[in-house]
Homo-oligomer: A and B are copies of this chain.
């Protein structure tokens, strides 16, 4: 410990993940004054058909946006 769990949508490259775990580890070491060896990071990827906002699956929301549905806004987080 500390252990940091990152929950994010699928679709990042391996290089982005390398970048992510390095940056988070540095941030934890800096703020909490611990040795890097004690910091574990775990990435959990969440499928688009397994998460919903406002009651609509992200996979359905994106499908709507792709087909030009009104009022749909694609967020990339």
Contacts and interface: CB of A to CB of B under 8 A. Distances in A.
**Interface of chain A, main secondary structure:** mixed
Nearest to A50: B43
Given A23-B30, A28-B6, A52-B41, A17 B77 contact: no
Contacts of A34: 76-77
Contacts of A4: 4-7, 24
A44 interface: yes
A36 B40 CA distance: 18
A27 interface: yes
Interface of A: 1-9, 12, 14, 16-28, 30-46, 49-57, 60, 75-77
